[in-house]
Chains A and B, each alone.
Chain A
Amino acid sequence: MIWYIARRIIYLIPTLLIISVIAFAVIQLPPGDFLASLISKAEETVDQAQVDALRERYGLDEPIYVQYWKWISGIITRGDFGDSFEWNRPVSDLIWERLGLTMVISLFTLAFVWIVAIPIGIYSAVKKYTIGDYLVTIIGFIGLAIPNFLLALVLMYIAFRYFGQSVGGLFSPEYIEADWSLERALDLLSHLWLPVIILGTAGTAALIRVMRANLLDELSKLYVDAARARGLSELKLLFKYPVRVALNPLVSAMAWVFPALVSGSAITSIVLNLQTTGPLLYRSLQAQDMYLAGSLILLVSVLTIIGTLISDILLAWIDPRIQLQ
């Protein structure tokens, strides 16, 4: 097991490298020197000495690989992601809480998706070709077809039109800037349900289909008949054998469900005005605040990759066949 984990972690290194290159490319993509955009945005005239200092710090006069090296080594050794020009603060000041909230939303959604999708998937497979199964299938397809942001808009409209409430945000106004406390955490929980449902819909629909297909495959396997021939009751049989085996691909499905959640949360958060990485990334891209944007893309990608790693380890833990390979 330890060897397996070690191997997976070694595999991560090239992945992280590629991600950092992509994130750096995003920083470099906009035309022109970003210092130029800094100067053009600054309200007062910028001190030439300050500009030179920045030029030196990011190695702007040096070849591109030196710039990359300065950027990545700053992140790894000092946790220095550069400065946000729009906010005029170090990037690292801005991102951690939002990254944390992104994680909270994604994890809650993941839990929601599993809790809803697994029982429905089991029901749908066991009651194959009944009205209930067809209903679940059709609702699932519709859930897959509605873009997150559209669902967010529609739910917001319904809340506004029929309940006179403006939903959105992750905190009540009085808690937005407050320090963390139990009250703030509870306030967060009371706001979390809407984004979790919106984000979870597509994933739930997808996982119901995966679970149903897996379980149908497993239900027709011989070991199920063998267990039945041993005198096991139908319910115990179902949960001990085929459901247990059908859960394995579901755990490995986490490897793509989690990135999709983080990905989807970007847009939903913009629509719902949540204090996560999505709106910050959106604003920074519009303002060409590239160090902030690049860092966000880097960190969100790293986060999803860690999620994938965890799902791999989890899978190896529950499925004894994996470690053997």
Chain B
Amino acid sequence: MNSATTRRPADDHAEAAAETRIVVANQWQLIWWKFRKHRLAMFAGLVTLLLYAVALFAEFIAPYAAGTYSATHTFLPPQNIQLFQQTDAGWRFYPHVYGHKVQVDPESFKRTYVVDEEITYPVGLFVRGEEYELWGLFTLDLHLIGAAQYGDPVHLIGTDRLGRDVLSRAIYGTRVSMSVGLVGVGLSLVLGIILGGISGYYGGLIDNLIQRVIEILRSLPTIPLWMGLSAAIPLTWPPVRVYFAITVLLSLIGWTALAREVRGRFLSLKTEDFVIAARLDGVRELQIILRHMVPSMTSHIIASVTLAIPGMILAETALSFLGIGLRPPVVSWGVLLQEAQNVRSIATAPWLLFPGLAVVVSVLAMNFLGDGLRDAADPYQT
């Protein structure tokens, strides 16, 4: 560097500018830059955000409350939105759905719906409908989408056997299903970080012990085990307690993957020069972990957390589907899919599988997001 005096000012200037750009970008900016290049993951991230927004504002977004039923409109098929209507004066913009006539088969007495194009129900955005309390704070009656005239039977995805709106229930289900994943992973993360951290940092006998436990837990067939444990949850428990019991059960087995990730990171960081340097400088152990090691593994942990949530969502759905997870009146995607448990009910009302689509979309989005995050987590690697 002693030859710097021979450098010409123009070059100096250019280099200084280039250097500032590199210095200013911290780790998170680099991760963001790298993540942004991953189009699919960006899109998946948007979908995930949207799903959580739906969960947060379920009352507003859903046209009906989760429990609203109509005895006269059971198993109503989905209605397609027609954007235009033909009148004598030509086509006009008039979003609406067609009504239905009920026909009863004279032999089998089976009720079938026939689309009746004579009857139209207008559909609109930001319509007035049932009253609800948003987060227990505000009483509102505004709905994002629904029948423009309060009381019209508008069911875009159809209704179930009690005449409840499938779309609304799926939207309410988002709240429970998406949050089970989040809470469950939160619990797993606490267990995973503590045990994985201890295992990776201290090594030796403790590490060996924890690794054995993880190995045992990983070699167990989780679903039969979950079935056994959740079947033991008393039927008399209130829904909230069942909800937490289920998430605890899911995370009791789900923490192992996170613990492995944390341990692996700790092991590789322990030998990094900056950690050794900190130790030689006499920094306290806790300080080393919190100030030096945790920040450099946070991005990886966020990525693995994102990848762990879909597993939780799938597990909750499966258990609730079987009737040994969450139970009505709680509304989750798995609970909703109970309605579609056998071929007969699906053959009658295939739209009851709609919550399944929600599961697939959310799991897909979070897998893509997690994959992109994992790639971006190490911005220095090309």
Residues of A within 8 A of B (CB): 11, 14-15, 18-19, 22-23, 26, 29-31, 141-142, 144-150, 153-154, 156-157, 160-161, 166, 168, 255-256, 259-260, 262-264, 266-267, 270-271, 277-278, 281-282, 285-286, 288, 293-294, 296-297, 300-301, 304-305, 308
Contacts and interface: CB of A to CB of B under 8 A. Distances in A.
A129 B322 CA distance: 40
A15 B219 contact: yes
Given A145-B367, A153-B340, A267 B223 contact: yes
A147 B314 contact: yes
Interface string B202-233: 00000000001001101111111101110110
B360 A153 contact: no
A26 B228 contact: yes
Interface residues of B, number: 41
7 contacts: A26-B229, A141-B368, A147-B360, A153-B346, A161-B347, A262-B221, A297-B225
A66 B228 CA distance: 22
B232 A29 contact: yes
Given A149-B321, A256-B218, A300-B221, 13 more contacts: A15-B215, A26-B232, A30-B231, A142-B364, A145-B360, A147-B359, A153-B353, A153-B356, A156-B343, A161-B350, A259-B221, A304-B221, A305-B219
B337 interface: yes
Contact of B231 (A277, A286, A308): A286
Given A144-B367, A281-B227, A301-B225, A154 B219 contact: no
Contacts of B367: 141, 144-145
B208 to A, nearest CB: 11
Contacts, number: 139
Interface of B: 212, 215-216, 218-225, 227-229, 231-232, 234, 310, 314, 317-318, 321-324, 337, 340-341, 343, 346-347, 350, 353, 356, 359-361, 363-364, 367-368
Given A145-B310, A259-B218, A150 B360 contact: yes
Given A18-B216, A145-B364, A294 B228 contact: yes
A281 B225 CA distance: 10
Q: Is the interface of A mostly helix, strand, loop or mixed?
A: helix
B260 to A, nearest CB: 11
B363 A293 contact: no
B243 to A, nearest CB: 19
Contacts of A166: 343
A18 B225 CA distance: 13
A266 B310 contact: no
Given A29-B232, A141-B367, A267-B321, A296 B343 contact: no
Contacts of B350: 157, 161
B224 A147 contact: no
A267 B322 contact: yes
B212 A147 contact: no
B356 A281 contact: no
A267 B322 CA distance: 8
Contacts of A264: 223
Most buried by B among A14, A19, A147, A166: A147
Contacts of B221: 259-260, 262-263, 266, 300-301, 304
A19 B367 CA distance: 31
A142 B224 CA distance: 25
A110 to B, nearest CB: 14
Contacts of A18: 216
B337 A150 contact: yes
A31 B224 CA distance: 20
A29 B233 CA distance: 9
A204 B195 CA distance: 31
A304 B219 contact: yes
A262 to B, nearest CB: 4
Most buried by B among A29, A153, A266, A300: A153
